[in-house]
Every structure is written in structure tokens, then in C-alpha cells.
Amino acid sequence: MTDEEKFESLKMLLDGVDDLSSDLLNEYLEQSQNIILNKCYPYIDDFSEVTMPPKYDRLQVQIACELALKRGAEGETSHKDGDVTRSYESAGVSQSLLDRIVPYVKKIGSD
């Protein structure tokens, strides 16, 4: 999936949501990629040498969508308004999405 296809998919998922510029949507895609890379490669500080595994392309869009929909309520841990109750965890990304990311590991001393 190309970056443009990810952008178009995110734009379609967020159709009808106001105040989301192209720059902001691209930022959410960038943030979601960083979230995935941090989970995939927990011991790497510089991601310039690695690429995101293509199997996470759709997940990247889903995480970006979730981040965009929580805009303005980032980090909210609890909220109740009538019958509606909200609480967020894991820095704005649901644990069910994060659980789909499998960390890559490598034996120490091997190439």
C-alpha cells in the first residue's frame, strides 16, 4: 500500500469529520507509523535503517483514524455524560490495536 493509498483510505474513513487538513492527516499517519515501529522494534532508537512491515499498512491507517477521532480528548482517562462513558489508554491508541503488533526479536550476537 503506497503512502497515497493510505492517505486516501484515511480520508475516506474520516469523511464528514471537520477540521482535518491534509497536513494533519499526514501527521496522524506519521505518528501511527512511529507507534508501530516502536512496538515492532522496541530496542531501536533510530528508525532510518528500518521500514515498516507492509503487513501493518492497514493497521497504520486504523491507528491514524483512531488518533484523529480522539482529537481534542487526547489522554482522557475517563469521561461520563449521561449514558456515554469514555476512557482511553495506551497514549490514545486502544490496546486491541496495539496487540496486533508483534515485536521483532533477534538473538544477541547473531547477524
Average pLDDT over residues 86-109: 76
What is the full DSSP assignment across 23-80? HHHHHHHHHHHHHHHHHH-TT-S-GGG----GGGHHHHHHHHHHHHHTTT-TT---EE
pLDDT digits (tens, 9 = 90+) for 17-56: 878 899 999 999 999 999 999 999 988 888 888 889 999 9
pLDDT score, position 26: 96
Contact criterion met (CB below 8 Å) for 97 and 39: no
What does the pLDDT look like over 69-87, one tens digit per residue? Answer: 877 555 555 566 677 666 6
- The residue with greater pLDDT, 58 or 44, is 58
